[in-house]
Every structure is written in C-alpha cells, then in structure tokens.
Structure 1
Amino acid sequence: MATVTSTQTQNLPISVKANSQPTEEKPRVRRAVDEESGTITASHPPYLPTWDHGEKYAPLEPFEHIEHGKGADPSFKDLLTEGSKLQHLTPTTGSEVTGVQLSKLSDAGKDQLALLVAQRKVVAFRNQDLENLPIQEALDFGGYFGRHHIHPTSGSPEGYPELHIVHRSGNASEFDSFLANRNSSVSWHSDVSYEKQPPGTTFLYALDIPEVGGDTGFVNQVEAYNRLSPLLKERLHGLKAIHSGFEQAEFSKKRDGVVRREPVTSEHPIVRTHPATGEKALFVNKGFTRKIVGFKEEESEALLKFLFDHIGRGIDYQARVRWAPGTVVVWDNRVTTHSAIFDWTTGERRHLARITPQAEAPFETPYVPESQ
C-alpha cells in the first residue's frame, strides 16, 4: 500500500487483506501484467492495472477542501516563467503550455496552475517528467490540490489505489467489440460526479499512446451555460439533479469487476459556481446525471435531454486535445465534461494514469439578471 497522508485516511481499507494465518479462499486478484502473454510491451509496467476483489473501502467522509486557485496571482509569474509559451486551442476553451515542468513548481506556481486551469478549463502541458517519477512522488504532487479519490471500480497500479488507470490495447477486435452496440465512442461525462465532493483540478498523464488517434475531447460547461437564454438560466437556478454511481457499479459486477466502495447517489445543483473564478457552469452530464429533483419523469427526461444535447453538440465551446509523449493534461472537473475518443485500430496501446483530487461539495450562488 502506498504511503498514507493525513488527507488520505478516509481511503484506508476497512479490512486487512493479508494475515499470517491460512484462509480458506484468498480474494481473487486480476493483473493486466499477467495477461500480456509473456511479453510485456508496456513502457511502464508498474502502471499496468490490477483489480483486487478483496480491496474494500469505507464510505467517504466529508472534508474541508482548500481551493488553491482562489486568490492566486493572475499574472501567473510563478507558473508561466521565462522561456515558457502559452497557446490557446480555441478562443474560450483549452490551452497548451511548453517550457514549464509541473513537478518543479513552487506552491505559488501550483496555486496559479489551479487558477489557469479554472479559467481555460483544460490545459495540456508538454514534455513533462511525471511518468518517470516514483509513483508516490507523482501522487504527492497531485495531493496538493485535494484529497485523493480512489475509484470504486477502475484498475489501479498494485499498491497505489489512488491512481485511476486508463488502458486499452486498441486492436481491431477490441474496437469491434466496443462499437458492437453503439455508433460512436463519444461519452461526455464529469468524473465521478455522483460523489458528495466530486473532483476539481484533475491530472491525466500519458504512458503509452497511439501515434495518431485516442484524443480526448472537452466541453466548456461555463460557456454552455452562457449560451442559454436568460429565462432558462433563471429557471435552472435552484434546481438539483440526482447523480448516481449505481449503474457504474452494476456494470463492473456484470463484467466480473471490482466494487471497492458501495455506490452512492448525490443531489447537486444543476448550475454550480466555481469558488475561484465565480463563474457559473452547467453541472449535469449524461454519464451520471439521472433525474431532476421534484420533476415528474417525463419533465425531467425532456429537460435533461435538451441539456445533454446542448452540451454534446456545442462544437464552438469544445476543445480536442491530442496526446503526445510526455503530455500531462490538466482540467477542472467542476466546469467541464470530457470524452475519450476511441478511433484507432492499429493495435497500439493507450495507457494513461489519472490523479483525481476531490474538491468542495458543489454549491450555487443566486441568479443575477444579465441587465444587472
């Protein structure tokens, strides 16, 4: 087990997995490294996922989140230092940075990173060393931004459950199986939005990637909110929606996967306010949002369908990030949705690691008419 810090104590297993006495049956452990047919081609084998059926965790407890972007220097002098370059991907959404090494940032630089990502929604940092650090050092870096979230169903490197691993081989049979009952791989979602305190500043770094393909798309949920009419904005304020983790848990069970923590549902405002920027954003996503509280089924379904369609078709407030070796993509999970794009059939591995610090419980500030 990785070193546990004070912000991670809620993630401790509720039972000890190993002891000195023989047991009738040991919990089953599935390891991707054992499925490599004797030849491991992954560039970072310690990052290959493991699913331990004996790994169980207690319910998450509330914690006080410190928003490091709030009050950070907007000149970004400790982040975008001499020799760095910031280039925007689109006018409203997404940027790319070179000449900055995230792992070497001072605390002031990390605070400014949180602010920049909140403003631009997603930022790709090139030529990073995060993948080559000891895993615990990478986790320590990410832990500055909030309490580590342990995903209830995904694979993780053995001994480091705080890391969420994204892993696909990309071979033709996997591609055909994935698209057998769907026309597209696009699945807009905000990570684990069913938690009482969903993630904020989130890090995903490349280990192995296809030469072409496997990009990630992002939607700017602030701009999606801004495009709505004043009357609809006003109506959405005060509404809450139910976000559910039960379907994800059931999907894992049906595939003989793990469920490390019992699934939960949460009620979150449909319009949430970012604590650092004060911006309002839509906070619904097709992956986990199930129903609007207080609406009848048909009413809820109709309004959510409109919002999901509005988010998904907004190409003018979306950005597409292309992966490259040494890339770390940082996004603010509170004000974006995203989707992996499964479009390569060359057999190349797509292997990434996600550090997922939790943030504050979503909150809403009062609606202010635009004339004011």
Structure 2
Amino acid sequence: MAPPNTDAIIQEIEKLNLQSIAREKGHYVVFPETKYPDLELFEHKDPGHRADPTKASILKHAEKVFDLTPNIGTEIHGLQLSALTDTQKDDLALLVAERGVVFFRDQDIDVYQGIEFIKHYGPPHIHNTFGHPEGLPEVHVVYFDTNTFKNYKSIGGVDFSLLVTGADGWHSDVTYENQPAGLTLLKIDTLPPTGGDTLWSSGYSAYDRLSPAFREFLEGLEAVHTGQQQVDEALRANHVLRRTVWTATHPVIRTHPVTGWKALFVQPGFTRSIVGLSKRESDLILKHLFEHIAGGVDFQVRFKWQENSVAVWDNRTTTHNAIFDYLQIGKRHGWRVTPQAEAPYFDPKSKSRKQDLEEKAAAAQA
C-alpha cells in the first residue's frame, strides 16, 4: 500500500483554527517586519459581468431567501459558501452588487477556504499596518474583549478616548488605496452574550436621498481618502509600515461597474477633504454627508450575528459600522478577507438605482 501523503497531512495539522485560538488565547495577531512593494494598478474584471441576471444558481438552490429591508440586505439559508461553484460565485457577485450585503448563517467555511473563495473576486488585500494570524497576512482579524479599553488606546486608527458617538465608526474598507476593496467576506465565530451587531448603509440610496441640485453639484467632484490615522497608530506601537502609499483620490459619486448605478462614496473613516474646495467648504459638505449616512435609517440594515454567520458585502457601494456595545461584558471574534477591485470612477451616463429600477418596472408594464 502506498504511504500517505505526508506533506498533505502536515499541512492539515498545521492549519490554524482561529476560533479556538481566540477563545483560548485572546488577542493573537502577529506583526512581522515584512514589507511589500507598493500596490500596482491592474485591470479588474468583475465576475458579476458573467452572472445570470436571474441569479438562478443561487436563488433556486437556496432553502430560503428574503430581503431584510427594501433598500439593502438579503439573507440566504441552505447554501454553504465553501461549496459554491464558480457559476454560483458569479451570481453571488451580482446579487451582492444589487443588494449591498448578503448574509449567510451556520457557515462551515474556514479561513483558508475564505482566502481561496475571495480570490474569485480579486487579489486579496494585505493591510498596510494591521496585525494578522501567523502566516496569513491576507487575513484581517476582528477581536475585541473586556480588556480592549485597558490594553489599547486605539484600534485601527480609532482613538477610543475621542470616540464621542458610534456614528464616527462608519467606513468602507481601505478606501485610501488606489484600487480599494470590492466584494468582501467576514465571518464572526465568537460573540458576547448580547450586542455586537453591525450596520450597513446603502450608498445607492444615500445618493438617491440627496436633492437633485446637490447630486448634480457632487457629481464629478473628487475626495481625498487617507489611512494616516492607522499609520500614526502603527508608528506609536513600533509596528512596521508595509508600504509607502496610504492616500488616494476618488470620485465623491461612484459608478458600480456591474449595476451601472451611482453611489455616494465618502465616509468618516477615511475621507478627509474634497478637492478644489476651501477647507471650510469641504468640511461643511463632508459633515453634512457623514450625518446623512449616519442618520439614514431608511437605507440601513442592522444584522444580529449568530456564531458562524457570514456577511458578504460590496465595499464599493456600502459603508458599515460595528457597534461596540459589548466591551464590558464579553468578547467578539471573527476574520475578514478583502479583495481589491477596480479604481473608483464616475460615469456621467450612469443612472441612480431608483431611476433604473423605475424605468425597468415601467418597461415591464408597457
């Protein structure tokens, strides 16, 4: 009889179980001295372009599919992300592009499968400053517990002593990159007794809710996004900066490459100024837009996690906000993998979500 594949056995034994490590050891990330070349521009081909408009491979094979709100958020039961075919991954890309965020419960996908899964949607992003699990630089760890306030002044560039309101936490991931995040996967596997929900906001509807004159004013403007706060935090902690670029300029109104819909693309996490305006003008407009996002309860969805739930969302057309209401009572852990997508752009011929859906509905009744 042939001997077993020793390399495969060793690889399986050495795989990390992040859930077990978090529960047994607490905060476990490492900060190697490894540096990387600055990210180069590449042509991104969104798999949503290959999708069946009916998304049949997903919707017809699920046990249950339902929208959580009219404007954002869909939940799917009966599918395992670890077992999706390429066709299903394409259809999922279109569904996420349309609905902003899609949720799955009772998922068996592990971090290694998660990395491979996300490669279907783009090259995995390695964060410029954050720690990661040993040997897994593509993985962003979500871990907060009752010692967070005591042990850390700030996490991810957010100074807890200056955090006045939870509205300050709205962000889209790594928008300071020239080609920031696209479709993104987060699995939460450890939860406090209560709390720890996450909010998502629709950039499509945020755009639609602005007045026509204000929308017209914003279209064509660009804003500066920076990760300087994260860099400052890393330098204070004597952690390595992996790359030398952490600032980018993007359109204030962005067009999604698959849906063709316009979305508001600013957020308090990383957007700092609007190009061509005075500081006073820029600050006033951004303050209004940030408050518009935070106060837009009619285009937000709040997800109550269960252990081993997964959220798959589009960072191009949503913002999200983790709620830190549990830091006195328990711990919350999960992991995220984040692919890069195209460089943000604005197509003046693109439509709003509302306009496009209304036109399609009228055409169907004609």
TM-score (norm 1): 0.82
**Matching residue within 321, 340, 343 for 1:339:** 321
Is the aligned partner of 1:189 residue 2:168? no
Distance change >3 Å, CA 176–CA 358, structure 1 → 2: closer
Partner of 2:22: 42
Identify the structure with the greater helix proportion: 2
Is the aligned partner of 1:97 residue 2:76? yes
Return the offset for 1:247: 2.4
- Please tell me the residue identity of whatever aligns with 2:290: F
Identity %: 45
Greater mean alpha carbon deviation, residues 178-187 or residues 122-131: 178-187
Is the aligned partner of 1:69 residue 2:45? no
Per-residue Cα deviation, 1:98-147 (whole angstroms, up to 9, x for no partner): 1011111111100011111111101111111113xxx4332111111101
Partner of 1:150: 126
Greater mean alpha carbon deviation, residues 262-271 or residues 188-197: 262-271
Q: Distance in 2 between matches of 1:113 and 1:234?
A: 32
Return the offset for 1:302: 1.1
Partner of 2:248: 266
Distance change >3 Å, CA 168–CA 46, structure 1 → 2: closer
> Deviation above 6 Å: which 4+ runs of structure 1?
44-47, 175-178, 368-372
Q: Distance in 1 between matches of 2:199 and 2:62?
A: 28
Distance change >3 Å, CA 292–CA 218, structure 1 → 2: same
The 5 A counterparts of 1:153-192 are 153-171=129-147, 174=150, 179-186=160-167, 187-192=169-174
2:58 and 2:91 in contact (8 A); partners too: yes
Partner of 2:265: 283
Distance change >3 Å, CA 176–CA 316, structure 1 → 2: farther
Partner of 1:58: 37
Distance change >3 Å, CA 148–CA 311, structure 1 → 2: same
Partner of 2:13: none
SS at match of 2:93: helix
1:237 and 1:271 in contact (8 A); partners too: yes
Is the aligned partner of 1:253 residue 2:235? yes
- Please tell me the residue identity of whatever aligns with 1:182: L
SS at match of 1:366: coil
- Taking only aligned residues, the RMSD between alpha carbons, in angstroms, comes to 2.5
The 5 A counterparts of 1:1-372 are 42-43=22-23, 48-52=28-32, 54-131=33-110, 135-171=111-147, 174=150, 179-186=160-167, 187-366=169-348
SS at match of 1:50: coil
Q: Distance in 1 between matches of 2:333 and 2:202?
A: 25
1:217 and 1:319 in contact (8 A); partners too: yes
Q: Distance in 1 between matches of 2:315 and 2:149?
A: 32
Q: Distance in 1 between matches of 2:123 and 2:294?
A: 30
Where does the alignment leave 5 or more consecutive residues of structure 1 unmatched? 1-32, 34-39
Q: Distance in 2 between matches of 1:368 and 1:338?
A: 24
TM-score (norm 2): 0.84
SS at match of 1:276: coil
- Please tell me the residue identity of whatever aligns with 1:163: V
Count of residues paired in the alignment: 330
Greater mean alpha carbon deviation, residues 205-214 or residues 251-260: 251-260
2:31 and 2:130 in contact (8 A); partners too: yes
Return the offset for 1:265: 1.4
Where does the alignment leave 5 or more consecutive residues of structure 2 unmatched? 1-17, 154-158, 360-366
1:79 and 1:112 in contact (8 A); partners too: yes
Return the offset for 1:368: 7.0
Partner of 1:30: none
SS at match of 2:58: coil
- Please tell me the residue identity of whatever aligns with 2:42: F
Return the offset for 1:255: 3.3
Q: Distance in 2 between matches of 1:182 and 1:47?
A: 22
1:153 and 1:260 in contact (8 A); partners too: yes
